[in-house]
Structure 1
């Protein structure tokens, strides 16, 4: 048995896990060096390929939290900031260079042998750290990929009002963070968008009225086959009398006022309630 066979997928291991398996202190020291790992703060064994923020958290006696912790688990992350986020105890004077440090009280007790904050704590940090729209997009992404259920989020006794608001508002329909942003922003403009409506055999991201289809393309590039499928579905929708507006990541995140103007213009023309005429 090697240390590497026991590492967390993010490249760390608590020294106590090896002691529980009967490893001696000398064996741990020897194996750590032989396998190219590092022992930090006498308790965290970290592999060289571990993300830099994981190594920094271990060295600082912190835990990775907020959008960094959620994104490492596959949750959508707003693209405007890639700073690492860590949590230190509220009264700690510790520092973590290059990271944003959170010191708020935990919602739930952290796992003592993990460098990644519990999901509830990470989501509470997201609620306090991001604006409402981005935070809701992160929460709904966590629900979408089955990290947590909407029912669980509603049942957690959140400490802060922002987390409680998100727990009350979080939905389970969004297929992407962009979709959540579109939903919230259009609602603020007085436009109701229905999500994930099935039309002509495929789901669309949003439908306004009965005829205006909205599609939001994520930051990651689609495979060519997926892109061809999307374009073919757009053609079928148009030939069936729907108006289709498709927006990419940059437009939704960085140019929303223009996106909103175009959607509102389509609504003003009545394209959400009647077939588009030739």
Structure 2
């Protein structure tokens, strides 16, 4: 007697399978039901089969007939997350949804791009659009720039999308590839909104610096690597000494200062400018 056909290999890398996709691969509905029971899989909603790899937010979307979107989709795509991000799963629900479930941040947007019935993840353009309307501008800019940084989208594409809403259009104009991290995006965006002209990633003393204000005021941002890698820390300190010997003022800030103590950070930079430390000698 032949061994029963195995369904698990048909699931994608996130542990998800659309029923119609399975049927097109030759699975009959009765065989699907038996395989789900036999292999310890889970049927969700009318359209989905998942295994233990499926994350809770994906399971929510499958059960509700929606799509993972906004900050939750951004996290799945490897984009930066705002420090105060809503930890509820962001799910865009179809217009026909009869309820708004508790514990879910529900979106009802039609979207800029049609959503596929074969995917549980909102298209990138829709994700960016909902981020634009869901979080403050500075945080949204950091998310958009991280999408550019990981290659989920390009500047050229952003310029061609017919964005709805003033904030999304402003983000499409402002987002660049220059930031190496969400913290860099956050800091540069806040300073520019304050009216400070910032040049990101200029090479000074043989290495790029995070930001240059005016001609002589450098700021550097200490991320996790600065604290976890002693060699990186020694290299950074040595580069700071070189910059000072060349006549630059160097200000260093870490995650906590930028995220939780921004008024003090901004005041320190403005004070340095008032003292003329950003001007060429």
Alpha-carbon distance, 1:27 to partner: 3.2
Secondary structure of 2:79's counterpart equals coil
1:48 aligns with 2:52: yes
Moved more, 121-130 or 171-180: 171-180
Secondary structure of 1:9's counterpart equals coil
State the partner residue of 1:24: 28
Which residue of the other structure, out of 220, 229, 246, is the alignment partner of 2:235? 229
State the partner residue of 2:253: 247
Secondary structure of 1:148's counterpart equals coil
Aligned partners of 1:18 and 1:221: how far apart in 2?
A: 48
Secondary structure of 1:172's counterpart equals coil
Q: State the number of aligned residues.
A: 275
- Is the CA contact (8 Å cut-off) linking 2:226 and 2:232 kept in structure 1? no
State the partner residue of 2:63: 59
1:157–1:274 Cα change, 3 Å: closer
Alpha-carbon distance, 1:200 to partner: 2.0
Alpha-carbon distance, 1:196 to partner: 1.0
- Is the CA contact (8 Å cut-off) linking 2:138 and 2:189 kept in structure 1? yes
State the partner residue of 1:134: 139
Aligned partners of 1:80 and 1:57: how far apart in 2?
A: 23
Aligned partners of 1:73 and 1:236: how far apart in 2?
A: 38
Alpha-carbon distance, 1:131 to partner: 1.1
Report Cα offsets for 1:168-205 as digits up to 9, x if no partner. 22222122222122122112222111001112222111
Note the 1:108-257 alignment, pairs <5 A. 108-218=113-223, 223-224=228-229, 225-257=231-263
Aligned partners of 1:217 and 1:165: how far apart in 2?
A: 28
Q: TM-score, normalised by structure 1?
A: 0.90
Alpha-carbon distance, 1:109 to partner: 0.3
Alpha-carbon distance, 1:250 to partner: 1.6
1:19–1:223 Cα change, 3 Å: farther
Alpha-carbon distance, 1:128 to partner: 1.0
Report Cα offsets for 1:27-63 as digits up to 9, x if no partner. 3223333433211013111222322111111111111
Aligned partners of 1:220 and 1:84: how far apart in 2?
A: 29
Two-structure CA RMSD over aligned residues (Å) = 2.1
Long gaps (5+) in structure 2: none
Alpha-carbon distance, 1:10 to partner: 2.7
State the partner residue of 1:94: 99
- Is the CA contact (8 Å cut-off) linking 1:91 and 1:103 kept in structure 2? no
